[in-house]
Amino acid sequence: MDFKGKVAIVTGSALGIRRGIAVALAEQGADIDGFDILVKENEDLAKEIEALGRKALAIECDVSDKEQVRSSVNKVYETFGRIDILINNAGVFNFTYAFNSDYDETIELFDKCMAVNARGTYLCSLAVVPIMLKQGSGSIINVITNHVKRDKYRPGVLEQGYDASKWAQLSLTDTLAIELKPRGILVNAICPAATDTPMLRSYLDVAGNYGCRTSLPSMMTVEDVGMAVINILNWGPDGPVGQAPLVTSREDCENLKFYQGEGRTILS
Ligand SMILES: NC(=O)c1ccc[n+]([C@@H]2O[C@H](COP(=O)([O-])OP(=O)(O)OC[C@H]3O[C@@H](n4cnc5c(N)ncnc54)[C@H](O)[C@@H]3O)[C@@H](O)[C@H]2O)c1
């Protein structure tokens, strides 16, 4: 893909993996629009993107809010006149107990994960689709997690809301890919394992309280995940869609250049 002049929205743009993705896209030549609820951190990222010689907008947007998503996407379109790439990266994680828990509090935590991780992915995708359809092209990538790779990982413990929302994201990747590929819009996902971000560090800080492990043998960097996203976008219109490759190391991220599909539903 020639990224020069392309316009990308990265959600959850204030912290963590977003930085790796946004900077990688900007280095390739794309202009970046960040949607986040954290205003200052989002503006800091926009300045970093501008320092790379690209245009950037920091938009305060709660991706679980239908009207905020609609108006934020409209603002990007009014400003740049196109939207080529959407990275659904915004996410929240929380621990939820199925036993010995406060019913209302636990449901609230579950709803929060579903609202941001699953509904946010759907709202942002639906909002950009009409614009991508008009252009006849566009790419959407959903940032999921290794937790949906059931053949390789045990389901998360005490993570009902997080994991349910991530499986919903995986399902959205499939269904949107099938529907949109014939219309020129390419939908894929990425399933990163542990990546060094504020989300992971706050998980490790409290994991011991929940009987979960508090350290990991290795973590990817946000730059690794940024490189993986660029490699997926480079599959282009002749590449597969509906894919959700697992990445656990920098090498995996690099090797996505040569990805041939995983044996799950391969749509091309
Ligand atoms: N860090 C990891 O190890 C890891 C592994 C697998 C998948 N992921 C996924 O990667 C994505 C990014 O995670 P991260 O580790 O960078 O997390 P993070 O907490 O460091 O960053 C998440 C970003 O999302 C933003 N956000 C939260 N709620 C939002 C909302 N309602 N609207 C808009 N923005 C909102 C936060 O403000 C923050 O900027 C998430 O979807 C996460 O599930 C992370």
Q: Would you state the pLDDT for residue 218?
A: 85
> 165 lies in which domain range?
7-258
Contact by Cβ (8 Å): 60, 39:
yes
Residue 268 lies in a domain: no
Q: Does the C-beta of 194 come closer than 6 Å to ligand 1?
A: yes
Residue 144 domain-assigned?
A: yes
The enclosing H or E element of 35 equals strand 31-36
State whether the beta carbon of 143 lies less than 6 angstroms from ligand 1.
yes
Residue 29, amino acid? G
Please work out whether the CB of residue 52 comes within 6 Å of at least one atom of ligand 1: no
Regarding the beta carbon of 226 and ligand 1, being less than 6 Å apart is answered no
* 234 part of a folded domain: yes
Q: Is residue 231 part of a domain?
A: yes
Residues whose CB is less than 8 angstroms from the CB of residue 230 and which lie 6 or more positions away in sequence, other chains included: 24, 25, 28
Ligand 1 centroid vs 216 CA: distance in angstroms? 19
List of the chain residues with pLDDT < 70: 263-268
Cβ proximity of 77 and 134 under 8 Å? no
Contacts of 49 (CB under 8 A, 6+ apart): 22, 23, 26, 31, 32, 55, 56
> Is 208 contained in some domain?
yes
Return the pLDDT at 153. 84
Q: Report how far residue 148's alpha carbon sits from residue 172's, in angstroms, rounded to the nearest whole number.
A: 13
Could you identify the atom of ligand 1 that is nearest to the CA of residue 147? 6
Q: Which atom of ligand 1 is nearest to the CA of 144?
A: 7
| Cα-Cα-Cα-Cα dihedral sign, residues 23, 24, 25, 28 | positive
For the annotated catalytic residues, the residue numbers are 162
Task: Kindly report the protein residue whose alpha carbon is nearest to atom 41 of ligand 1.
Answer: 91
Ligand 1 centroid – CA 91 distance (Å): 4
Res 211: pLDDT: 81
What is the model's pTM? 0.96
The answer to the question of residue 147 being in a domain is yes
Q: pLDDT, tens digit, for every residue of 179-226?
A: 999 999 999 999 999 999 988 998 898 888 888 878 887 899 999 999
b/e per residue 126-151 (b: at least 16 CB within 10 A): ebbbebbeeeebbbbbbbbbbbbbee
- Predicted confidence at residue 238, as pLDDT, reads 92
Closest atom of ligand 1 to 116 CA is 31
| Mutational pocket test of ligand 1: of 17, 149, 170, the residue with most ligand atoms within 8 Å of the beta carbon | 17
Residues 142, 145: Cα–Cα separation, whole Å:
10
67: domain CATH number is 3.40.50.720
Q: How many domains does the chain have?
A: 1
The verdict on the CB of residue 15 being under 6 Å from ligand 1 is yes
H/E run at residue 111: helix 103-113
Residues 122-132 pLDDT 10s: 999 999 999 99
Q: What are the residues facing 195 on neighbouring strands?
A: 220
Residue 265 counted as domain residue: no
Inter-residue long-range contacts of 41-46, CB under 8 Å, 24+ positions, other chains counted: 41/14, 41/15, 42/13, 42/14, 44/14, 45/13, 45/14, 45/18, 45/19
Contact at 8 Å (CB) between 222 and 197?
A: yes
Q: Specify if 264 maps to a domain.
A: no
